[in-house]
Amino acid sequence: MSKTKVIEIEPLTRVEGHGKVSIHLDDNNQVHDARLHIVEFRGFERFIRGRPYWEAPMIVQRLCGICPVSHNLAAAKAMDQIVGAPRLTPTAEKIRRLTHYGQIMQSHVLHFFHLCAPDLLFGFDADASMRNVFALINLKPDLAMQAVRMRKFGQEVIRATSGKKIHGACAIPGGVNKNLSIPERDALLKDMDQMKKWAQGALVIARDYTLENLSMIERFATFSSSYLALVREDGALDLYHGALRAMDGGGNLIFDQADYRNYGDFIMEEVKPWSYMKFPFIKMRGRIDGWYRVGPLARLNCSGYIDTPEAAKALVEFKSLTGGRPNHMTLAYHWARMVEVIHCVEKIGELLNDPDLQGEDLAVKGDRAEEGIGVIEAPRGTLIHHYRVDENDLITYCNLIVSTTNNNEAINRAITSVAKSHLSGAPRITDGMLNHIEVAVRAYDPCLSCATHALGQMPLIVEVFDTSGVLIESRTREK
């Protein structure tokens, strides 16, 4: 019987929140498996039971400090059904879209420039002292500055539509809390031209990096998979609302225009003993073959076109790389992300010029229902909120499938792929090798956050165990 040793990387650096990777080696130091372990907030689904339904869109923001807007919107979309509001007022829907585009833009920009750019600019094998944002600031201070200002702009969009960061909320059941005043609109409009220019520059960087390093990228965690995303009725990219579309690795539709309120007919969730995170799969393809990818790459693969001009052109160029077939390259997530930034900036510009944003009709109600399911495309992918409410208006059931959960199997496969290429047979594990693993994980922009932090936490710990569980090597890198 061959011996197996396990290398654990904990926590991952430059991903949102923290998790742990274990790499399983055999006697000959060959990788035969790799797993991502995540402490997820399963307790939340129980915590919210017994709370009044109207609190949900506010409370769920506490799930994650990284993307509170996404949870607010997904919960509110579910509660729209509870309060009998299948169609919002034009003002309400447009305000929600505005805040959503602001959220995705600022999230993508931060991820690309401050979390991933050090890897892309300095190389995956570069010394750790070079692979960080401070080296980026030294080398390209203008880019670092742009990233901060673009992020700030996105946050200002959110602030204008939601009020305060923690104690504000954009969406409520059946609508929104507030409209956008003329002064708020004008404050944002003055920066639009600059945002468009910088978004175009970011797209060029991501595209050129992909094309210039294509031979490496085609070999780095590239594997065929299915993809899932919301699309509009006509197949266009829609980050806020639509129906579910899933396609296989060849680009063939598995299902299309599926009403997300029936998500349980299409998606099932599996639990594995070594992870707190669920493993969703497409029901008709089964547990083994039904896994899929979500997020920017999945959305571009699934979308027929984009309805804003610059992003539309960018999508055509993106799709031309693979002849219109699905792009399976993990590192192409970066390019896809920047296409979405352009789209979001264009959408924000459109909306800010729409007088509906100053409308006074903010919320509607209709016939009360007992169940609601909300789905949006969050920055990291498809996000599902499902609630049931009793006759006393109290929540009795909650099920969440968060974006990173949808990508769970894909991230595990990416890690395994890279580990086999870069760690198998190596005499010792170097920082550069470990960073290759982290680069693969980071491409998915996973949110491993438990939204809790305290001073003095989170060192990087790497531990190697033999098959009997004896610790044979341990390294710690303080954050």
Partner 1 sequence: MSAARRILIIGYGNPGRGDDGLGPALAAMVEREGIDGVIVHEDYQLTVESAQDVAQSEMVIFADASMDEAGRFSIVPILPVPSPQFDSHSLSPGTVLYLALTLFGAKPEAYLVSIRGYEFDRFGESLSKKAEANLAAAAKRVFALLSESVSSL
Smallest gap from Cβ 48 to partner 1, in A, equals 8
Q: Are 379 and 444 in contact (CB under 8 A)?
A: no
Residues 70-89 close enough to bind partner 1 by CB under 8 A: none
Q: Which helix (H) or strand (E) holds 44?
A: helix 43-47
Task: List the one residue from 9, 75, 88, 147 that touches partner 1 (CB under 8 A).
Answer: 147
Residues 95 and 111: their CA atoms lie apart, in Å, by 25
Least separation in angstroms between residue 130's CB and partner 1 is: 12
Interface residue with partner 1, options 4, 29, 155, 421 (CB under 8 A): 155
DSSP three-state, residue 238 = coil
For 141: left if phi > 0, alpha if psi spans -120 to 50, otherwise beta; the answer is: alpha
Query: Which residue of 31, 36, 63, 341 would you call a contact of partner 1, by CB under 8 A?
Result: 63
Quote the DSSP letter at residue 423. T
Q: Which stretch binds partner 1 (CB under 8 A): 181-189, 323-331, 393-401, 452-460?
A: 452-460
Binding partner 1 by CB under 8 A: which of 7, 9, 36, 66? 66
**Contact (Cβ atoms closer than 8 angstroms) between residue 307 and residue 236:** yes
Among 152, 261, 285, 420, indicate the residue that binds partner 1 (CB under 8 A): 152
**Chosen residue from 121, 126, 133, 461 binding partner 1 by CB under 8 A:** 133
Three-state secondary structure call for residue 24: strand
DSSP 23: E
Which are the contacts of 115, defined by CB distance < 8 A and separation ≥ 6?
14, 15, 442, 445
Distance, in Å, from the CA atom of 196 to the CA atom of 188, rounded to the nearest integer, reads 13
Mark 440-451 as b/e (b = at least 16 C-beta within 10 Å): bbbbbbbbbbbb
**What would the DSSP string read from start to end of 333-372?**
HHHHHHHHHHHHHHHHHHHHT-GGGG-S--B---S--SEE
115 lies in the binding site for partner 1 (CB under 8 A) = yes
Nearest residue (CB) to partner 1, 210 versus 449: 449
Q: How many residues belong to the site for partner 1 (CB under 8 A)? A: 55
The answer to the question of residue 460 lying near partner 1 (CB under 8 A) is yes
User: How are the residues of the chain apportioned to helix, strand and coil, as percentages rounded to the nearest 5?
Assistant: 45, 20, 35
Helix, coil or strand: residue 230 = strand
Exactly one of 6, 16, 94, 302 binds partner 1 (CB under 8 A); which one? 16
- 334 is a site residue for partner 1 (CB under 8 A): no
**C-alpha span between 307 and 330 (Å, rounded):** 25
276 binds partner 1 (CB under 8 A): no
Out of 50, 86, 141, 366, name the contact with partner 1 by CB under 8 A: 141
Nearer to partner 1, 454 or 471 (CB): 454
Q: Which is nearer to partner 1, 68 or 381 (CB)?
A: 68
Query: Which amino acid type is present at position 418?
Result: V
CB of 179 to partner 1, least distance (A): 23
Of 2, 28, 43, 233, the one binding partner 1 (CB under 8 A) is 43
Of 267, 196, 199, 200, nearest to 230 by C-alpha is 267
Residue 17 or 381 having the CB closest to partner 1: 17
Q: ∠331-226-293 over CA atoms, to 5°?
A: 50
Q: Which helix (H) or strand (E) holds 183?
A: helix 182-189
- Check: CB of residue 464 under 8 Å from CB of residue 471: yes
Site membership for partner 1, residue 14 (CB under 8 A): yes
Q: Which of 3, 219, 453, 475 binds partner 1 (CB under 8 A)?
A: 453
Torsion over CA: 162, 168, 169, 174 (sign): negative
Q: Among residue numbers 167 through 226, which ones bind partner 1 (CB under 8 A)?
A: 167
Interface with partner 1 (CB under 8 A), residue from 134, 204, 211, 393: 134
Is 40 a residue that touches partner 1 (CB under 8 A)? no
CB of 462 to partner 1, least distance (A): 14
Minimum CB separation of residue 43 from partner 1 in Å reads 6
Determine if 163 is a binding residue for partner 1 (CB under 8 A): no
Window of 27-35, 105-113, 193-201, 252-260 that interacts with partner 1 by CB under 8 A: 105-113
- Judged by CB, which is closer to partner 1: 165, or 368? 165
104 sits near partner 1 (criterion: CB under 8 A) = no
Which span (186-194, 230-238, 369-377, 451-459) binds partner 1, by CB under 8 A?
Answer: 451-459
With binding defined as CB under 8 A, does residue 165 bind partner 1? yes
Say how many C-beta atoms besides its own lie within 10 A of residue 424's C-beta.
15
Q: Which two tokens stand for residue 405?
A: 């959960």
Between helices 332-352 and 192-212, what is the axis angle to 10°?
A: 160
- Applying CB under 8 A, the span of 63-71, 195-203, 204-212, 308-316 interacting with partner 1 comes to 63-71
Task: State yes or no: residue 144 binds partner 1 (CB under 8 A).
Answer: yes
List 137, 192, 236, 364, residue binding partner 1 (CB under 8 A): 137
Contact positions toward partner 1, by CB under 8 A? Answer: 13-18, 41, 43-44, 47, 59, 61-63, 65-66, 68, 106, 110-111, 114-115, 128-129, 132-134, 137, 141, 144-145, 147-149, 151-152, 155, 164-167, 449-458, 460, 477-479
